A and B are shown apart, each in its own frame.
Chain A
Amino acid sequence: DTAVSQTPKYLVTQMGNDKSIKCEQNLGHDTMYWYKQDSKKFLKIMFSYNNKELIINETVPNRFSPKSPDKAHLNLHINSLELGDSAVYFCASSPDLTDTQYFGPGTRLTVL
C-alpha cells in the first residue's frame, strides 16, 4: 500500500520540451514537497505546499511550476527543459513542516 507515489519513474526527453511529474500521498498529510537531487547527490528543496497553498519556493526558475489540486496531490510541471534539469526529483509529504517527511520513489529525469 504505497504511501507516496510518483509517476513516471523514468523520464527521458529532449531539451526545450515541457514535461510533468505527478505525486500523490495517501497518508492524510497537510504538507507536500518537491526536492531535486543532482549528480552530486545533494538533496535540495524546491517547493513546499501546505493545505494546497505554496509556502516555500527556494529560488527555483519559473520554468518550474508546481500545482496542488488537493491536499493529496502535488504535481510539478517543467517548461523548456534544459540539460541542467537532469536529476532525480523526489516528492515528499509530512504532517507539518517540522515533522518527519516520507518520500516517494523518485523520478529520474534525463534531458538530452
Chain B
Amino acid sequence: RKEVEQDPGPFNVPEGATVAFNCTYSNSASQSFFWYRQDCRKEPKLLMSVYSSGNEDGRFTAQLNRASQYISLLIRDSKLSDSATYLCVVNRAGNTPLVFGKGTRLSVIA
C-alpha cells in the first residue's frame, strides 16, 4: 500500500456543484494531515490543516477518519477559481517529514 493514495481524477464538475476527494494513508501512527492546492505551473500552497474533529473554512470542509485511515476534502458551491490539483499531505510517524500524495485534479466548468 502506498504511503498516501489519491484518485488522480480529473474531476470535471459544473460551477456550483459539491465535490469531495478522499485520500488514504498507510501509517496508522501519522499525526499531521493537510490539504494543499497546486495551480498549474505554480508551487503548492497550504489550503487547510486537518484536525481530528474535522474543520471547516468557508466552502471547504476537511475530515479525518483515523479508524479507516483516510482524510477527505469537501468543496461546496464550486467556483471556476477552485480548478487546481489538490494534494493530500500526511507525515509518516513521529518526527518525520510530510509525504505528499500525487494529487487530484479538479476542473470546474462554467
Q: Which of A's residues lie within 8 Å of B, judged by CB?
A: 33, 35, 40-43, 45, 48, 56, 90, 96-106
Return A87 CB to nearest CB of chain B, in Å: 13
Query: Which residue from A41, A48, A105 sits with its C-beta under 8 Å from B85?
Result: A41
Return A4 CB to nearest CB of chain B, in Å: 8
Interface centre among A96, A101, A104 (most CB of B within 10 A): A101
Q: Which of B's residues lie within 8 Å of A, judged by CB?
A: 31-32, 34, 42-46, 49, 85, 87, 91, 95-100, 102-103
Consensus secondary structure, chain A interface: loop
Say yes or no: B43 contacts A90, CB within 8 Å. Answer: yes
A residues near B34, Cβ cutoff 8 Å:
100
Say yes or no: A105 contacts B97, CB within 8 Å. Answer: no
Q: Which residue of A lies closest to B89 (CB)?
A: A101
Say yes or no: A48 contacts B44, CB within 8 Å. Answer: no
Interface centre among A33, A43, A90, A99 (most CB of B within 10 A): A43
In the assembly, what is the distance between CA of A98 and CA of B34, in Å?
11
B residues near A90, Cβ cutoff 8 Å:
43-44
Say yes or no: B44 contacts A41, CB within 8 Å. Answer: no
Say yes or no: B102 contacts A98, CB within 8 Å. Answer: no
Say yes or no: A103 contacts B102, CB within 8 Å. Answer: no
In the assembly, what is the distance between CA of A54 and CA of B55, in Å?
34
Say yes or no: A104 contacts B43, CB within 8 Å. Answer: yes
In the assembly, what is the distance between CA of A67 and CA of B44, in Å?
23
Return B85 CB to nearest CB of chain A, in Å: 7
